[in-house]
Amino acid sequence: MKNIDAAAHTRGESIYLDDIPLLQGTLFGAVFGSPVAHGVIRSLDLTEAERMPGVVRIFTYKDVRGENQIGGIVPDEPLFAERHVHFCGMPVALVVAESEAAARAAVKKIRVEIEPLEVITDPRIAQARGELIVAPRTFRLGDTDSAWKSCAFIFEGRADTNGQEHLYIETQGAYAIPLENDTIRIYSSTQAPTAVQRAISKVSGLPMHCLDVEVTRLGGGFGGKEDQANIWAALCALACVHLKKPVKYALPRTDDMVMTGKRHPYSSDFRIGLDEDYKILAYEVTLYQNAGAAADLSPAVLERSLFHCTNSYFIPNVRATAYSCRTHLPPNTAFRGFGGPQGMFVIEAAIVKAAEALGVDAALIQKKNLHRTGDEFPYGQLAESEAPACWQKAEELYELEALRAEVAVFNAGHALFKKGIAVMPVCFGISFTKTLMNQARALVHVYSDGSVSVSTGAVEMGQGVNTKILQVAAAAFAIAPARIKIQATSTFRIANTSPTAASATADLNGRAVLMACTEIVARLKRVVAEEWGVDAERVELREEAVWERVKGRSLEGEETGEGQRNLGRSLEGEETGEGPRNLGRSLSWKQLVLLAFTKRVNLSEHAHYATPGIHFDASREKGHPFAYHVYGTAITVVTLDCLRGRYEVDAVKVVHDGGASMNLIIDRGQIEGGIVQGIGWMTVEEVLYDEEGRLRSNALSTYKVPDIYSVPRRIDIDFLHTQRDNLAIFRSKAVGEPPLMYGIGAYFALRNAIRAFNPAAELAFSTPMTPERALMGLYSGGGPAGMTNEGEERAVKDGQGKRAGNEQLSPASGEGHE
Ligand code: MTE
Ligand code: LUZ
Ligand code: MOS
């Protein structure tokens, strides 16, 4: 089934925050953010700003009626700076004016004197100073200390990954509207309506039942709105409470980039030990997470880095320690993968370090060490592993050996263009690592006209969750999708929601919907069974009608649990006349609903789902935190222009463990998007803060993201279809985050291309591998060997043969790309 938003999106009719019609008298906010990263506020002068035309009022921490605090996990983040500022862009004041332009003009007139203090941007320095957000954590399996003795080979190194800007198309923002008796409705571009509600409650002192947070959809979140939507909503709500007027603040792109946190940069040390046979016996890793100035979600992100520190490999002896380090950057936050990618990059770097030193292909070590069903993760859960199956299928389907041979032939034939290939297995745990967050509720109404309304805590942000939820309801009721509407997410309809995050939204909310629908179906069946004087067991919903199963006739075409295959197909013909042969009398869906209504039967249901069987004991760092794992293997091939450092990703070929996907179109979209986003993180996207903690990459002119020319020339996706019982909805495994980590393969493929050109290249395990860095790498370590006269001649020939060169790199992009 197509995404239910497709038509409205295409026509530009979908409603985002900025499309909400404004009420008369709406005022507009703009934040004055700290111009320095660390210091003590000596004076704040608002007089000139207050005199600017259109300015209604300027708010500071003094106007906060409740607590000036929005920290979710750790209460360490004031909404407004009081005496100290801790990062550039930290909100100091909120100007509210009659227009956006007036508010922004007034912000420029605010004067602040800040006595600067030392700025720390490096997590290792922060750690050395004892500047930690929370106590460090260590995961252990076996005993690394004694395992080193059995290792034939031991390698050590360092790996660094940089941050990543979320770059959701819709920036952060909120619109608060005063209703009667202290009630406020807040439209917020948030992944977490309940978190927004809590934050506003804390700051305003109003109880949660006064706060209706409503979300129709987001123009992307990617984790950036899991926690950091709270600020803007709290600011708007605060002004709304004071002024009793609607207040809106949608951030301009630069404010958004400067003021909000990003993916956490990590710096890590590793040590890996292998036996003669290249089995990994021991792995030790220390992760330094750059948390920024406040906790935000950092402790949870840190935890997931530890959970994924061995990626898809079974390593019998592991010691992994992680520090969440306080620096003077904006608080870093959730980003697709949530610390998992950072943890996985390090083990991949460790394996590649070993492979390069041993002179073997990294894939040899990777494949040998993939975990198998029954192997233990460092956190105690036992794997139900699809890792070998995905690898095997990718290897065969995409003819890995032939691909390698092609790369070798190409490299032998070109002096100035080199190809690189890398294989990246992925294993990602599904469930919030905080067990209590794995719960969801759904409210389903069947109206007397047969139309159905479904509300959950899920937020649609482009990932297609509303379509999947609609498919669940359509399957449960056996009715056409057109009869069902997924309502905007609202804290008045559904309470105490977990954020739309952790890729588990369809699983959690979908299962709650299924429970609610199943309950209503049972009631409907009882009604009609009573009417017909038959057993309710004999009554069946199918094709928009309820049927009596006739005794003695065979039930060919019976649903066999494969019902989801046909989910969402549209059913023509409203009223069903003649039924399948094995069925007797029937009532149409509409007649059925009306019958139940006249019999005064409840046509609404509110259901609650909590993932069974998961637990985690943080005191031992052991448990069974994940409902299941998602697996996959990606093969990445790149071509590198060794004269210029430019490169292209020729292909990413994936086998992805989707379980029994309930929507292949959506899942393919998620996989493609995740891959490109992951490649962007590993290659061109470069978040740059200077030593004063100022963001230098604060616009799209200075922050490069993959464009249509730099996405892989081809992405092949094949699914590992499994019917294994799991806790996913309809066995359709979560798909939102795991594919991002396939993108890590691009870094290692580029590394291989550089080494094909210059085997002596000195390459740090440091990302992003921008074209500039690739170029430096190509000529590092004394430069490429064999740049003799003969080599130069060939090089010149390659270089002059510019057309030929471009063809090799990219016939599609051609000269226009330069
Ligand atoms: N896809 C789109 N189009 N837009 C997004 O913002 N966010 C990703 C992923 N895919 C995102 C997306 C992230 S970070 C997560 S956690 C999941 O979607 C969340 O949705 P799900 O739980 O329904 O998979
Ligand atoms: N958010 C969260 C997440 O709070 N806990 C998680 O485990 C998680 N995992 C992935 C993405 N967001
Ligand atoms: Mo996604 S990082 O869980 O929002």
Q: State the pTM of this model.
A: 0.94
432 pocket-lining for ligand 2 (C-beta < 6 Å):
yes
CB 546 within 8 A of CB 524: yes
* Tokens describing residue 578: 């003649």
Whole-angstrom CA distances from 422 to 174, 309, 672, 759, 784 are 43, 19, 18, 16, 21
HSE-CB of 696 using CA atoms within 13 angstroms: 9
User: Which residues on adjacent β-strands are paired with residue 586?
Assistant: 547
Kindly report the average pLDDT of the chain as a whole number: 93
* H-state helical runs in 359-399: 362-368, 387-397
Distance (angstroms) between ligand 1 centre and the Cα of 122 equals: 29
Among 116, 104, 111, 109, smallest CA distance to 254 is for 104
pLDDT band at residue 671 using 50, 70 and 90 as cut-offs:
very high
Minimum CA distance residue for ligand 1 atom 21 = 503
Enumerate residues 6+ apart whose C-beta is below 8 A from 793. none
d(CA 566, CA 563): 6
CB 516 within 8 A of CB 442: yes
Closest atom of ligand 3 relative to the 502 alpha carbon: 3
d(CA 683, CA 424): 16
User: What tens digit of pLDDT does each residue of 614-629 get?
Assistant: 999 999 999 999 999 9
Mutational test site, ligand 2, from 304, 332, 508, max ligand atoms within 8 Å of CB:
304
Mutational test site, ligand 3, from 681, 737, 741, max ligand atoms within 8 Å of CB:
737
Mutational test site, ligand 2, from 302, 303, 335, 338, max ligand atoms within 8 Å of CB:
338
In three-state secondary structure terms, 605 is strand
The number of beta carbons lying within 10 Å of the beta carbon of residue 521 is 18
HSE-CB of 423 using CA atoms within 13 angstroms: 28
Ligand closest to Cα of 225 equals 3
d(CA 164, CA 161): 10
Mutational test site, ligand 1, from 217, 737, 740, 742, max ligand atoms within 8 Å of CB:
737
Please tell me the predicted confidence (pLDDT) of residue 722: 85
User: What tens digit of pLDDT does each residue of 345-360 get?
Assistant: 999 999 999 999 999 9
Distance (angstroms) between ligand 2 centre and the Cα of 435 equals: 11
Which whole number is the average pLDDT over 539-544?
96
Please tell me the predicted confidence (pLDDT) of residue 816: 34
Please tell me the predicted confidence (pLDDT) of residue 581: 58
Mutational test site, ligand 3, from 189, 304, 338, max ligand atoms within 8 Å of CB:
338
462 pocket-lining for ligand 1 (C-beta < 6 Å):
yes
At residue 818, does pLDDT exceed 70? no
d(CA 658, CA 718): 9
Minimum CA distance residue for ligand 3 atom 4 = 223
Distance (angstroms) between ligand 2 centre and the Cα of 224 equals: 12
Which whole number is the average pLDDT over 647-660?
97
User: What does R_g of the chain's alpha carbons equal in angstroms?
Assistant: 28
Please tell me the predicted confidence (pLDDT) of residue 562: 37
Please tell me the predicted confidence (pLDDT) of residue 787: 58
338 pocket-lining for ligand 2 (C-beta < 6 Å):
yes
263 pocket-lining for ligand 2 (C-beta < 6 Å):
no
Element (H, E) at 651: strand 647-659
User: What tens digit of pLDDT does each residue of 53-95 get?
Assistant: 999 999 999 999 999 999 999 999 999 999 999 999 999 999 9
Question: In the chain, pLDDT over 70 holds for what percent of residues?
Answer: 92
At residue 558, does pLDDT exceed 80? no
Please tell me the predicted confidence (pLDDT) of residue 786: 56
Least confident window among 340-349, 436-445, 796-805: 796-805
CB 86 within 8 A of CB 293: yes
Distance (angstroms) between ligand 2 centre and the Cα of 237 equals: 26
Question: In the chain, pLDDT over 90 holds for what percent of residues?
Answer: 90
d(CA 763, CA 368): 25
> Pick the catalytic residue: 113, 118, 737, 792?
737
Ligand 3 residue neighbourhood (C-beta within 6 Å): 191, 221, 223, 226, 334-336, 338, 501-502, 737
Please tell me the predicted confidence (pLDDT) of residue 809: 61
Distance (angstroms) between ligand 2 centre and the Cα of 429 equals: 10
Ligand closest to Cα of 740 equals 1
Distance (angstroms) between ligand 2 centre and the Cα of 388 equals: 26
At residue 768, does pLDDT exceed 80? yes
212 pocket-lining for ligand 1 (C-beta < 6 Å):
no
739 pocket-lining for ligand 1 (C-beta < 6 Å):
no
192 pocket-lining for ligand 1 (C-beta < 6 Å):
no
Distance (angstroms) between ligand 3 centre and the Cα of 499 equals: 9
Please tell me the predicted confidence (pLDDT) of residue 464: 98
627 pocket-lining for ligand 2 (C-beta < 6 Å):
no
433 pocket-lining for ligand 2 (C-beta < 6 Å):
yes
d(CA 160, CA 366): 20
Ligand closest to Cα of 170 equals 1
Which whole number is the average pLDDT over 726-738?
97
User: What tens digit of pLDDT does each residue of 199-219 get?
Assistant: 999 999 999 999 999 999 999
Give yes or no: 737 in active site: yes
Least confident window among 574-583, 676-685, 737-746, 762-771: 574-583
User: What tens digit of pLDDT does each residue of 89-108 get?
Assistant: 999 999 999 999 999 999 99
Enumerate residues 6+ apart whose C-beta is below 8 A from 54. 97, 98, 99, 102, 103, 106
- Amino acid occupying residue 43: S
Please tell me the predicted confidence (pLDDT) of residue 665: 97
- Amino acid occupying residue 10: T
pLDDT band at residue 806 using 50, 70 and 90 as cut-offs:
very low
pLDDT band at residue 580 using 50, 70 and 90 as cut-offs:
low
Cis peptide before 193 (omega within 30 of 0): no
Distance (angstroms) between ligand 1 centre and the Cα of 133 equals: 27
DSSP 318-379: EEEEEEEEE-SSSPP---TTTTHHHHHHHHHHHHHHHHHHHTS-HHHHHHHTB--TTPBPTT
Element (H, E) at 524: helix 505-532
461 pocket-lining for ligand 1 (C-beta < 6 Å):
yes
Residue 458 has φ and ψ, to the nearest 5°, of -70, 140
Beta strands in 20-63 (DSSP E): 27-33, 39-45, 55-59
d(CA 604, CA 472): 16
Residue 370 has φ and ψ, to the nearest 5°, of -60, 140
503 pocket-lining for ligand 1 (C-beta < 6 Å):
yes
Enumerate residues 6+ apart whose C-beta is below 8 A from 52. 97, 102, 105, 106, 109
CB 418 within 8 A of CB 754: yes
d(CA 266, CA 287): 7
Residue with tokens 């745990």: 429
* Tokens describing residue 96: 């509210």
At residue 705, does pLDDT exceed 50? yes
The number of beta carbons lying within 10 Å of the beta carbon of residue 436 is 8
Minimum CA distance residue for ligand 2 atom 12 = 502
Beta strands in 535-646 (DSSP E): 539-541, 545-549, 583-588, 604-610, 615-617, 622-624, 628-641
State in Å, rounded, how far the first CA of the chain is from the last one. Answer: 40
* Tokens describing residue 643: 């004269």
Enumerate residues 6+ apart whose C-beta is below 8 A from 545. 478, 576, 579, 586, 587, 588, 589, 592
334 pocket-lining for ligand 2 (C-beta < 6 Å):
yes
Please tell me the predicted confidence (pLDDT) of residue 804: 40
Q: Is 563 left (phi over 0), alpha (psi -120 to 50) or beta?
A: alpha
Least confident window among 403-417, 489-503, 775-789, 796-810: 796-810
Residue with tokens 């190809």: 419
Sign of the alpha-carbon dihedral angle for 485, 490, 495, 498: positive
d(CA 122, CA 125): 5
* Tokens describing residue 17: 């925050």
Among 490, 439, 432, smallest CA distance to 193 is for 490
Question: Judging by DSSP bridges, how do beta strands 545-549 and 583-588 pair with one another?
Answer: antiparallel
pLDDT band at residue 798 using 50, 70 and 90 as cut-offs:
low
- Amino acid occupying residue 769: M
222 pocket-lining for ligand 2 (C-beta < 6 Å):
no
* H-state helical runs in 653-801: 664-682, 744-757, 771-778, 789-800
Least confident window among 410-419, 486-495, 570-579, 601-610: 570-579
At residue 20, does pLDDT exceed 50? yes
Distance (angstroms) between ligand 3 centre and the Cα of 500 equals: 7
* Tokens describing residue 328: 């003077």
User: What tens digit of pLDDT does each residue of 259-317 get?
Assistant: 999 999 999 999 999 999 999 999 999 999 999 999 999 999 999 999 999 999 999 99
CB 396 within 8 A of CB 390: no
Which whole number is the average pLDDT over 633-647?
98
626 pocket-lining for ligand 2 (C-beta < 6 Å):
no
Please tell me the predicted confidence (pLDDT) of residue 552: 52
CB 592 within 8 A of CB 546: yes
Beta strands in 98-232 (DSSP E): 111-116, 137-141, 153-161, 173-178, 184-188, 211-215
Minimum CA distance residue for ligand 1 atom 23 = 505
CB 290 within 8 A of CB 123: yes
Distance (angstroms) between ligand 3 centre and the Cα of 296 equals: 13
d(CA 120, CA 104): 30
Distance (angstroms) between ligand 2 centre and the Cα of 267 equals: 21
Which whole number is the average pLDDT over 716-730?
93
Least confident window among 429-443, 538-552, 630-644: 538-552
* Tokens describing residue 570: 């549209």
Whole-angstrom CA distances from 235 to 31, 92, 186, 188, 240 are 9, 11, 11, 11, 9
